[in-house]
Amino acid sequence: MKLLSSLLIIFSLATSMLTYDVPYLIDTKFYYEGYIPWWIETENLPKLDCYSLFALQPLKDGWHNQFGDGGVEIPNLPAESCKLWTARIMEDDYGDWLKDPEDTKEWVRKLEPFIKNSNGIVLDLEKWDLWAYVMNFIYAYHEFYPNKKLIVDIPDFRVPLDPEMIDMVDQFHLMAYDYDPDSGILAPLSKTIESINSYHFIKRKLVLGIPLYGYVKTDSGWVYVANKEIEKGICEDKHTIDGEVHCLLSGDIYSEDGDLLHLNKAPTVYEDSTCINKKIQLAKRLHLRGVAFWAVGYYPNVWKKIDR
Q: What is the pTM of this model?
A: 0.73
Residue 183 has pLDDT above 90, yes or no: no
Q: Distances in Å between the alpha carbon of 267 and those of 112, 149, 187, 263?
A: 47, 43, 20, 12
Pairwise pLDDT comparison (221 vs 74), residue with the higher score: 74
Running DSSP on this structure, what letter comes out for residue 279?
H
Compute the mean pLDDT over every residue in the chain, rounded to the nearest whole number: 77
The yes-or-no verdict on residue 299 having pLDDT over 80 is: no
Hey, where are the domains in the chain?
28-213+272-304, 228-271
Highest mean pLDDT among 120-129, 231-240, 271-280: 120-129
Q: Which residues are within 8 A (CB) of 285 and not within 5 positions of it... i.e. 6 or more apart?
A: none
Q: What is the pLDDT of residue 195?
A: 80
pLDDT at 20: 33
Q: Tell me the Ramachandran region of residue 221: left when phi exceeds 0, alpha when psi lies from -120 to 50, beta otherwise.
A: left
Q: Is the pLDDT of residue 201 over 80?
A: yes
Q: Is the torsion defined by CA of 263, 264, 265, 268 positive or negative?
A: negative
Residue range 222-228: average pLDDT?
44
Q: Give the model's pLDDT for residue 38.
A: 80
Q: What pLDDT sits at residue 235?
A: 60
Pick the CATH number of 28-213+272-304 from 3.40.50.1970, 3.30.1330.10, 3.20.20.80, 1.10.3720.10: 3.20.20.80
Which one has a higher pLDDT value, 233 or 237? 237
